[in-house]
Amino acid sequence: MLNLSNLGLTHPARVYHNLSTPALYEEAIRRREAWLAHLGPLLVRTGHYTGRSAKDKFVVKEPSAEGKVWWGKHNQPISEEKFNQLKIRLQAYLQGRDIFVQDCHCGADPAYRINVRVITETAWHNLFARTMFIREFDRDALDAFAPDFTVLHCPNFQAMPEHDGTHSEAFVLLHLAQKLAIIGGTCYAGEIKKSIFTVMNYLLPQRGVLSMHCSANVGKDGDTAVFFGLSGTGKTTLSSEKDRAMIGDDEHGWSETGVFNLEGGCYAKVIRLSKASEPEIYETTRRFGTILENVAFDPDNRHVDLDDASLTENTRAAYPITHMPHIVKEGVGGHPRNIVMLTCDAFGVMPPIAKLTPEQAMYHFISGYTAKVAGTERGVKEPAATFSACFGAPFMARHPSEYARLLGKLMASHRANCWLVNTGWSGGPYGTGQRMKIEISRAVVRAALSGALDKVSFTPDPVFTFGVPEACPDVPAEMLQARNTWADKAAYDAKARELAGLFKKNFAEYEGQLPKEVVGAGPA
């Protein structure tokens, strides 16, 4: 029998333990948490918070973590006293209330898997956990389940900032020694999965495993590829190919035995999702077992409208990875033969594809560059460079140099190629040039993964020093050198120097933590 007294959870009204997907559907609808849409997806609303609340995430500063965590804006410290007083009030809040418990795993490789117990006050958030993590179907294993980490999720419970030391009523607090995350004040379900991803980013490097914010797939010949990229760079689109099977779409580990998915589901952004360009993901929005967050729908016929951004641009679909037709069911692959780093360069100075040396790969991995464009945020008139260390700084619990060293070591051990692919602008910056066509991006990725570029000559870029291919199948030769696509060559040179300066300024804080070969691998 389930006993939650070790968490201080006593006298709940009723505990729903490991309910199936249909049963959680019934509870969510019965409790008016959700609506049933045409063809079977579950529609939910997250209220005020329609995305992650990065400023409200804290890590408890206690002896076991103090010297290991990358403290700063992404891992803000909070005291054990503040954590415990919030936890005590949460325990009191849940007395007399129904709670839902889901036992699952994080990590497809049993050698690095952790058992995760997610306790929620709502049925649909429990369904989200069941969807996004790896399910356990063995009844004996579930009976013997012992959690390695627990998430306590109460979105209707709010913090008191002046008393609790938080920035708002929302909070995401991680206590790595107690192996407990407490989340409240926000209904955005992504906080559940990202809190556990942060935990894995803390644990795996201590075992020599690189934890990665990336997608991964495998070709017919068994060649594995990983795709790093921030939001809007095309990571999901370019890693979804009919002739390659998906390992996972967002979070992976790379150990001495290969790549493994951390999750059992996908959490895709679906605003203006096109059936023509992404048919496989589109079909998941029309299936039972998919949760649609903040997606508009017709209340009469329950048809969804993926083009409606009236609630948020960050509409999401959470679905089991088994909803996708081409997957690696075991969630594991071999060592990557190719690593693709995606950037949406709104300055228009990056080539469609470039080959990186191992040192350059470490440099660009730590840099995590993409760009915001005019219109994405109030006051942005010119392209604004954005750097997110390791292509996922908000979830990196340890210093970025630690992940970069692991990347370099694994690349050297397994002779992986690394490519920088620009899915942004060509022929000029945003407003002047043209957005790279998806056909071009697919062509350069296909060429890199197939080995078509192995015998091609490369020319060093005069500013960024990486190698630019002189030819690429299905790509016009004049597009490969970014400078050649600009009518005003002097304007290109000025813009390239500007972006190079931004790279150097961003990288300055990491220079003391890395070998001089990596520091010198940036722009000339």
In a domain, 242, yes or no: no
Of 367, 395, 399, the residue nearest 499 (C-alpha)? 367
Q: Is the pLDDT of residue 381 over 90?
A: no
Cα distance between residue 179 and residue 423, in whole Å: 39
432 has a pLDDT exceeding 60: yes
Active-site choice (17, 45, 52, 302): 52
Domain boundary among 151, 183, 207: 207
User: How many structural domains is the chain composed of?
Assistant: 2
425 with 356: CB under 8 angstroms?
Answer: no
Q: Is 48 a catalytic residue?
A: no
Of 57, 130, 194, 405, which is the active-site residue? 194
- Per residue in 221-240, pLDDT (tens digit) is 999 999 999 877 888 788 88
In a domain, 224, yes or no: no
Residue 422 is part of a domain; what is its CATH number? Answer: 3.90.228.20
Asked, for residue 300, whether it belongs to a domain, the answer is no
pLDDT value for 385 = 84
Q: What percent of the chain has pLDDT over 90?
A: 91
Say what the pLDDT of residue 278 is. Answer: 86
pLDDT exceeds cutoff 90 at 294 = yes
Residue position matching structure tokens 């939650």: 4
Q: Which candidate in 82, 135, 244, 316 is catalytic?
A: 316
Cα–Cα distances in Å, from 214 out to 110, 152, 249, 281? 20, 26, 7, 17
Range of lowest pLDDT (154-158, 233-237, 352-356): 233-237
Q: Flag whether 394 is in a domain.
A: yes
Q: Which of 172, 207, 242 is the C-terminal boundary of a domain?
A: 207
* Per-residue pLDDT at 380 exceeds 50: no
The pLDDT value given to residue 377: 44
Q: Are 249 and 236 contacting, i.e. CB atoms less than 8 angstroms apart? A: yes
Position of tokens 């379900």? 189
pLDDT in tens, 80-131: 999 999 999 999 999 999 999 999 999 999 999 999 999 999 999 999 999 9
The backbone torsions φ and ψ at residue 211, rounded to the nearest 5 degrees and listed phi first, read: -90, 135
For residue 286, pLDDT over 60 is answered with: yes
* Residue 206: per-residue pLDDT: 96
Same domain, 360 and 504: yes
CB 163 within 8 A of CB 133: no
CB 251 within 8 A of CB 200: yes
CATH of the domain at 133: 3.40.449.10
The pTM of this model reads 0.94
Determine the 3-state secondary structure of 40 from DSSP: coil
Give me the catalytic one of 50, 122, 215, 236: 236
State the pLDDT at residue 447: 97
375 band by pLDDT with thresholds 50, 70 and 90: very low
Range of the domain at 192: 5-33+54-207
399-427 pLDDT, tens digit per residue, is 999 999 999 999 999 999 999 999 999 99
Q: Is 213 among the catalytic positions?
A: yes
Of 231, 257, 274, 432, which is the active-site residue? 231
- Is the predicted pLDDT of residue 163 greater than 80, yes or no? yes
Give yes or no: 236 in active site: yes
Q: What is the mean pLDDT of the chain?
A: 95
Asked if the model's pLDDT at residue 179 lies above 90, the reply is yes
Tell me whether residue 117 is one of the annotated catalytic residues: no
Catalytic residue at 45?
no
In a domain, 60, yes or no: yes
Q: Which of 207, 223, 240 is the last residue of a domain?
A: 207
What per-residue confidence (pLDDT) applies to 382? 61
Q: What span, in angstroms and rounded, lies between the C-alpha atoms of 326 and 280?
A: 9
- Judge whether 266 lies within some domain: no
Model confidence at 186: pLDDT above 50:
yes
pLDDT per position as a tens digit, 465-489: 999 999 999 999 999 999 999 999 9
For the question of residue 231 being annotated catalytic, the response is yes
343 and 196 belong to one structural domain: no
Note the pLDDT of residue 374. Answer: 45
